[in-house]
Structure 1
Amino acid sequence: MSNDNLISVEHLYRRYAGLVAVKDVSFELQRGEVLGFLGPNGAGKTTTMQIITGNLAPTSGRILINGLDLLDRPRQAKGEIGYLPEQPPLYRELTVDEYLRFCARLNRLRRDTITAAVDRAKQRCGLEQVGRRLINNLSKGYQQRVGIAQAIIHSPAVVVLDEPTVGLDPIQIREIRELIRELGEEHGVILSTHILPEVQMTCDRVQIINRGQLVFSDHVDNLDRRMQSSSLILGLQQPPAQHILEALPGINDVQALDNHRFRLLHAAETNPAGAIAQQAVEQGWGLFELTPEHKTLEQIFVEITSSEQSDTEIEAA
């Protein structure tokens, strides 16, 4: 196995009585990669995260963490993981320094390395100025930073972050996103989030789980290409009959909207806007709008999970 392959999940299942919460999930995480893990509520996302971090046993399947089998060598494998749950495990009556020293001991760091480890975690998370402050007196953004610092105190190969920006203000969210990108340069990072723009801004690759199965896995660049325009909004003061618009080169379908406006559907790899504008001018249609429509990540997410749900319902019928 390559030293850059930090997580390998093979045919993972988790069953609860008659319910299959995770079904045949397989994926890998490379060093230097930030993986966005998405899914609607109840899709199996949290269950998968709990299994990967060793907090829940799988029914079947294999999980390798930096080459270590999580089931055969749990103590060593868990030592390669840093985990920030959605609710950071903070002792608010402690100072930042006290808490991080405690976390270092929990991770079995040698006594003579603890001070250096704490200083490094504080430096990476921007906590140098608050080491002596009580955690309870810090803002939520700084408390999240402390949570991330405890996850990386032992320099793990893999960092798993569950909803790290929930409840933060826009400035704090930007700071945490920058920190996640920096962590991705040295570690492998799994980011579980409901905030879809966060995936575009932070992650290299995206996975979507629905009904316990992975239904999408691709690089963010390819996801961005899926968001490219595949339709145009056309506004004409003197529109022709709809069948004339349907006959325009490159147009697959036309949907009539209000106020002499139409949605023109075309293949994603084509751009018929120039030819349409020329035709509108030559025919005197009175062009007043020609706007490409771009899919949002939210639309793609809904399409993927909705189509998967429909397929499942058809199979069960």
Structure 2
Amino acid sequence: MTALIEIERLTKRFGAFTAVDDVSFTVAKGEVVGFLGPNGAGKSTTMRMLAGFMTPTSGTARICGDDVVDKPVAAKRHLGFLPEGAPTYPEMTVTGFLEFCGRARGFHRSELQDRVAKAMALTQLEGVRLQPVETLSKGFKRRVGLAAALLHDPAVLVLDEPTDGLDPNQKHDVRNLILAMAPTKAIVISTHILEEVGAVCSRAVVIARGRVVADETPAELAARGPSMDAVFRSLTLPAAEAA
């Protein structure tokens, strides 16, 4: 299978601190990869570099063959990115914000309206479409960010904690949406919740202290320990090795 996401020896340093250390993996069309690790492991930094929001210290990342540093605009055309916090313009209505995002993507008139309507339907936002974003709950704001990521029907989705702030029913709906989209896209989901990976992912890439320490199926990962904490304890690098 052709890889739609290619990450090769990606590294990010902040002064003497190495947040991401020589990370490499690929994601093919039809794969949903859980990017798993404890808080502070380097997940969000890796995803920001992949999305072109942060320049790597070294290494490369490509989306559908386009380098995120050398060809950032072309790479982002293929990408739907849900960052941590899902920044929006809070004074805009949900419809207004999604229309703004659509126009920035180059959509106008009927195509814009169709894409906004479809994104809201996928994320179940029709009931709040006229509300200002700032009046929404954390879960609804997260769904607005997800709708914005889906507007242009990208080949690649990079989702940082996509179910953060959602209630159990909303989490179930988002997971079902991810599964429905999976056959036609390459998807990376960053999370620190092992249950999330087991629910929707075909692979699990585990990062600890900035390094990839496992790349296997969710079942193989779960077999390493009886709980998420046990898995993380078994995979976290010893201090001497991480130095």
TM exceeds 0.5?
Answer: yes
Q: CA RMSD for the aligned pairs?
A: 2.1
The 5 A counterparts of 1:294-313 are 295-305=226-236, 308-310=237-239, 312=241
1:59 equivalent among 53, 57, 60: 57
Number of the residue aligned with 1:255: none
Identity over aligned pairs, percent: 42
The 5 A counterparts of 1:78-89 are 78-89=76-87
AA aligned opposite 2:238: Q
The 5 A counterparts of 1:192-271 are 192-226=190-224
Query: 5+ residue gaps in structure 1?
Result: 228-294
The 2-side partners of 1:129 and 1:196 are apart by 31
Structure 1, residues 218-249: CA drift from partner, whole Å, max 9, x if none?
1223324445xxxxxxxxxxxxxxxxxxxxxx
AA aligned opposite 2:96: E
AA aligned opposite 1:214: V
Number of the residue aligned with 1:178: 176
**SS of 1:83's equivalent?**
strand
Query: 5+ residue gaps in structure 2?
Result: none
1:86: how far off? 1.9
Number of the residue aligned with 2:31: 33
The 2-side partners of 1:13 and 1:105 are apart by 34
Number of the residue aligned with 1:105: 103
AA aligned opposite 1:223: L
1:134: how far off? 2.9
2:19 equivalent among 14, 18, 21: 21
The 2-side partners of 1:38 and 1:8 are apart by 17
The 1-side partners of 2:136 and 2:210 are apart by 37
TM-aligned CA distance change 1:226 to 1:194, over 3 Å: closer
The 2-side partners of 1:183 and 1:145 are apart by 16
TM-aligned CA distance change 1:97 to 1:15, over 3 Å: same
1:110: how far off? 4.6
**SS of 2:221's equivalent?**
helix
1:159: how far off? 1.3
**SS of 2:238's equivalent?**
helix
Number of the residue aligned with 2:134: 136
TM-aligned CA distance change 1:191 to 1:95, over 3 Å: same
AA aligned opposite 2:54: L
**SS of 1:25's equivalent?**
strand
How many pairs are equivalent? 243
The 1-side partners of 2:106 and 2:35 are apart by 29
1:20: how far off? 2.4
The 5 A counterparts of 1:275-294 are none
Cα contact 2:142–2:165 (8 A) shared by 1: no
Structure 1, residues 190-236: CA drift from partner, whole Å, max 9, x if none?
11112221111121111111122101111223324445xxxxxxxxx
AA aligned opposite 2:33: L
Number of the residue aligned with 1:146: 144
Cα contact 1:196–1:298 (8 A) shared by 2: no
**SS of 2:199's equivalent?**
helix
1:179: how far off? 2.4
Structure 1, residues 29-83: CA drift from partner, whole Å, max 9, x if none?
1122221112223322221111001011111212110111212211110121111
TM-aligned CA distance change 1:23 to 1:139, over 3 Å: closer
TM-aligned CA distance change 1:212 to 1:119, over 3 Å: same
The 2-side partners of 1:89 and 1:19 are apart by 27
